[in-house]
Amino acid sequence: MKRDFYADSIAQFLASAPNQILGELARNNIFSLEQTQRDAWLVEILILQKALAKFDGKIYFEYSIPRMGRRIDVLLLIGAIIFVLEFKVGEKEFPVYAIDQVWDYALDLKNFHETSHGQYVAPILIATQAKSTVVTVAATPHNDKLLFPIKSSVQNLEQVLIDVLRFVDGVKIDTQRWESGRYQPTPTIIEAAMALYNGHSVKEISRSDASAINLSETSDAIAEIIRFSRSKSQKSICFVTGVPGAGKTLVGLNIATTHIDKNNDLYSVFLSGNGPLVEILREALARDRVRHEKEQGRKVKKSEALSDVKMFIQNVHNFRDECLVDSNRPPIEHVALFDEAQRAWDVEQTAKFMRQKKNKPDFQQSEPEFLISCLDRHPDWAVVVCLVGGGQEINTGEAGIREWIDALNRTFPDWHIYISARLTDSEYGAGEVLDAIQSRKNVVKNDRLHLSVSMRSFRAENVSLLVKLLLDLDIDGARQVLSKIGDKYPIVITRNLAMAKKWLKQQARGSERYGIVVSSQAERLKPHAIDVKAPMDPIHWFLDGKEDVRSSYYLEDVATEFHVQGLELDWACVTWDADFRYSKTGWEHWSFVGDKWNHIRKNERQIYLKNAYRVLLTRARQGMVIVVPEGDMDDLTRRHEFYDSTFEYLRDIGFKLI
């Protein structure tokens, strides 16, 4: 796929007439071309034809960054350096958002473009109306050959390029080899949703290396099941498993965006019981739609954009309620994709809700059984796709995957079942129940329905395994995995929250998102200005910028496992309270009620608490700091011994102390 609108040697670029270059840009432009864009290109061409007169290399205009749904204004390959140029035509100043923007582009190449990994990358922001600037060239402290963003006026641009070339020592980039490098991004779920909604394929926005089953392969397996079910007029359910961050949600979104046309009988809906995830994805897609339309000179109200998105991403409870209105009519969709299917409610929780909220005192179906029955109303065919996370149940009444299997055995004997071969693993809690479906004639195991490698962290794929071993108290195993991860994915520990905040800010570059996450049971962090009961808005926390006090960047509001499940940060601060304490005999589970800690004795609630920390410890894409407070001997609810053993356990595993 051609990733630019124009590419040529700098020599040929200098020899070409500006209108000739402009014409090629216009021909390759995939959007409606506004006069403002045409004028901006002409300004950039004229500036660069003057600034590049002394240089040899290659130039690219409008270089695509699918993960971000954006394009780099200009990319230059000169000597040993990749220059990333962002122009702000007509600007006199260098706004913070623009500095982060050009830094983000440079980070994208550095992290996700195969032949850019080992190269120096220099992001440069040019404000065309700015006065001459004092230029400082310096590399970031991450030791990955990425320079700090450089602010340049038009007059300074030539000298900036010279200064950077003097600063860097390296071998000249082979342009042909560089262009042949694969782009293997690891998008956040928000970035992925926006890219898919805007027409990119899952192949463009996901890794495809040999260490992981390709997301497109799993998507293709589901698509085959859907097509086969339609052609044979059969009803099918398939279970897709995966480790935390493996891309299960991304697979679901890919299928839903592929079949987004309501007039097609393959029309699909993406359903999730995760309220914050649904609201954040909807808001992100709506904001992105408004931004795209504005860039093309068109106006669209955000309410209109939200209305369109709501049909494509729905809260599973709203879908359920719609099916309750008419108990005989099938839904418009033949295909329903249930994200985090293990969190669907059991019979008791569903019956309680129906009795109290829907005035249905005799309702006796679990949520999985009722949801399957809704699709079963179709007279011809239907497909249910369950996206299943292991060890992710974190709330009362969440049935786990075994209830889906039980429901199929009780009520739907004719449905075809496609399962991941890993559904028998202990963390899915379905092993015994699966024995009961072995006698069914229409059960198919498919290895392509399991995603075994975390895609959340492009720096270290073994983080989810490390967290599993840590929580399972396998200290030797955890040490071995931590040694494999090394410095690629920094994990540090501290007793000081202020120091942890400072560390976060030092690690993050560009708009890389960071924030504080805590257990919803962490009620004795109030002396550290952390109140888990204080209301926070996940939309603002996850989507707003550094200037907004409600955003995660401010490190004031904190998110719990309920806010962050299914989502991710680049850098996370996990603040560990006394609700989950290490001891020589195993984890201790506590709940703070009134003025004291009480033991949690119910096995179900103990599992929820352990899973809460599993969620918190697997949110970060690039690294994390774990804070275990020192406690206070003058406060009986925060005694030192409530925290010390947990801290010592983490230190014994080998996490670096800051």
**Distance separating the N- and C-terminal Cα atoms of the chain:** 45
> Quick one: average pLDDT of 572-598?
96
**pLDDT at position 211:** 46
What's the distance, CA 95 to chain centroid? Answer: 26
> Quick one: average pLDDT of 8-34?
91
Is residue 198 scored above 80 in pLDDT?
no
463-657: CATH topology:
Rossmann fold (3.40.50)
Domain boundaries, the chain: 6-180, 213-274+315-451, 463-657
**pLDDT at position 263:** 64
Question: pLDDT-derived band of residue 454, with 50, 70 and 90 as boundaries?
Answer: low
Same fold, 213-274+315-451 and 463-657: yes
Q: Name the amino acid, one letter, at 261.
A: D
**pLDDT at position 396:** 61
If you compute the radius of gyration of the chain from its CA atoms, what whole number of angstroms results?
27
**pLDDT at position 327:** 78
**pLDDT at position 210:** 44
pLDDT in tens, 360-412: 888 888 889 999 999 999 999 999 999 887 655 556 666 677 888 889 988 99
**pLDDT at position 260:** 64
**pLDDT at position 429:** 56
Is residue 212 scored above 60 in pLDDT?
no
For residues 296 and 601, which has the higher predicted lDDT (pLDDT)? Answer: 601
CB 344 within 8 A of CB 301: no
Is residue 209 scored above 50 in pLDDT?
no
Strand pairing category for 70-78 and 313-315: unpaired
Task: Give the tokens for residue 11.
Answer: 């020599």
d(CA 605, CA 309): 35
- Whole-model pTM: value is 0.83
pLDDT in tens, 574-586: 999 999 999 989 9
Q: Span 213-274+315-451: which CATH code?
A: 3.40.50
Range in 231-235, 486-490, 491-495 the model is least confident about: 486-490
Cα angle vertex 299, ends 297, 305, to 5°? 130
CB 466 within 8 A of CB 481: yes
Q: In this structure, what are the phi and psi dihedrals at residue 367, rounded to the nearest 5 degrees? A: -65, -45
CB 308 within 8 A of CB 257: no
Beta bridge partners of 626: 493, 574
pLDDT in tens, 250-294: 888 888 887 766 666 777 888 888 889 899 999 998 998 888 788
Q: Using a pLDDT cut of 70, give the percent of the chain over it.
A: 92
Is residue 181 scored above 70 in pLDDT?
yes
CB 81 within 8 A of CB 120: yes
CB 382 within 8 A of CB 235: yes
3-state secondary structure 556-574: CCCECHHHHCCCCEEEEEE
Burial of 209 (0-12, 13-18, 19+ CB in 10 A): exposed
Is residue 542 scored above 50 in pLDDT?
yes
Residues 6+ apart with CB under 8 A from 276: 538, 562, 563, 564, 565, 567
pLDDT in tens, 316-372: 888 888 888 877 889 988 999 998 888 888 888 888 988 888 888 888 888 899 999
Is residue 612 scored above 50 in pLDDT?
yes
Q: Spell out the alpha helix ranges (H) of 584-634.
A: 603-617
**pLDDT at position 324:** 87
Range in 199-213, 471-485, 510-524 the model is least confident about: 199-213
The neighbour count for residue 191, using CB atoms within 10 Å, is: 18
Question: pLDDT-derived band of residue 85, with 50, 70 and 90 as boundaries?
Answer: very high
Beta bridge partners of 239: 386, 419
**pLDDT at position 251:** 85
Is residue 36 scored above 50 in pLDDT?
yes
